[in-house]
Amino acid sequence: MIIEKFLNKWILFFLLLIPILGFVLEEPYYITLTTKVIILGIAGIGLNLALGYCGLISFGHAAFFGLGGYVTGILSFHALNSELMFSWPFIASGSSNMLVIWPIVIITSALLSFIIGVLSLRTTGVYFIMITLAFAQMLYFFAISWPNYGGEDGLSIYMRNSFPMVNTMDPTTFYMICLFWLLLAVFISAKLINSSFGMAFQAVKQNEERVKSVGIETFKVKLLVFIISGTITGLAGSLYTDLNRFVSPSVLNWQMSGEIMVFVILGGIARLYGPLVGAAFFIVLEQTLGVYTENWQFWLGLILILEILYVRSGILSLFEKKLKYEK
Partner 1 sequence: MTSILFFEQLLNGVQFGTMLFLMSAGLTLIFGVMGLINLAHGSFYMIGAFSAALIAGLTGSFWLALLASLSGAAIAGVLIEIIIIRRLYRRDHLDQVLATFALILLLSEGVRWCFGAFPLFLDIPSNLNGTLPILDNLIYSKYRLFIIMMGFLIAFGLYILITKTRLGVRIRAGQNDRQMISALGVDISKLYTIVFALGASLAGLAGAMIGAIQSVEVGMGEPILILAFVVIVIGGIGSIKGALIGSILVGVTDTIGRIFLPEVLKIFMEPASATSVGSSIGSMLIYILMALILIIKPSGLFGKN
Nearest to 56 by CA among 1, 113, 139, 106: 113
Task: For residue 302, state whether it binds partner 1 (rule: CB under 8 A).
Answer: yes
Torsion angle of C-alpha atoms 33, 39, 40, 43, degrees rounded to 10: 180
Task: For residue 167, state whether it binds partner 1 (rule: CB under 8 A).
Answer: no
The interface with partner 1 within residues 231-270 (CB under 8 A) comprises: 254-255, 258, 261-262, 265, 269
Integer Cα distance of 273 and 275 in angstroms = 6
Q: How far is the CB of 277 from partner 1 (least distance, A)?
A: 16
Integer Cα distance of 242 and 98 in angstroms = 9
Q: How far is the CB of 63 from partner 1 (least distance, A)?
A: 11
Nearest to 44 by CA among 314, 317, 246: 314
Task: For residue 122, state whether it binds partner 1 (rule: CB under 8 A).
Answer: yes
Mask for 270-299, x = binds partner 1 (CB under 8 A): -------------------------xxxx-
Task: For residue 6, state whether it binds partner 1 (rule: CB under 8 A).
Answer: no
Sign of CA dihedral 34, 35, 41, 45: positive
Question: Based on CB atoms, which residue is closest to partner 1, 172 or 313?
Answer: 313
| SS3 of 102-124 | HHHHHHHHHHHHHHHHHHHCCCC
55 phi and psi, to 5 degrees? Answer: 75, 20
Rounded to a whole number of angstroms, the distance between the first and last alpha carbons of the chain is 16
Q: How far is the CB of 134 from partner 1 (least distance, A)?
A: 5
Identify which range of 5-13, 18-26, 144-152, 209-217 contacts partner 1 by CB under 8 A: 144-152
Q: How far is the CB of 143 from partner 1 (least distance, A)?
A: 9
Pick the binder of partner 1 from 5, 20, 103, 123 (CB under 8 A).
123
Task: For residue 138, state whether it binds partner 1 (rule: CB under 8 A).
Answer: yes
Question: Based on CB atoms, which residue is closest to partner 1, 82 or 87?
Answer: 87
Task: For residue 308, state whether it binds partner 1 (rule: CB under 8 A).
Answer: yes
Integer Cα distance of 182 and 45 in angstroms = 9
Task: For residue 304, state whether it binds partner 1 (rule: CB under 8 A).
Answer: yes
Question: Based on CB atoms, which residue is closest to partner 1, 34 or 58?
Answer: 58
Pick the binder of partner 1 from 1, 91, 214, 309 (CB under 8 A).
309
Three-state DSSP class for residue 254: helix
Three-state DSSP class for residue 146: coil
Integer Cα distance of 44 and 256 in angstroms = 11
Integer Cα distance of 210 and 216 in angstroms = 9
Integer Cα distance of 108 and 242 in angstroms = 17
Q: How far is the CB of 259 from partner 1 (least distance, A)?
A: 9
Query: Which residues contribute to the site for partner 1 (CB under 8 A)?
Result: 51, 57, 59, 119, 122-127, 129-131, 133-135, 137-138, 141-142, 144-148, 254-255, 258, 261-262, 265, 269, 295-298, 300-302, 304-305, 308-309, 312
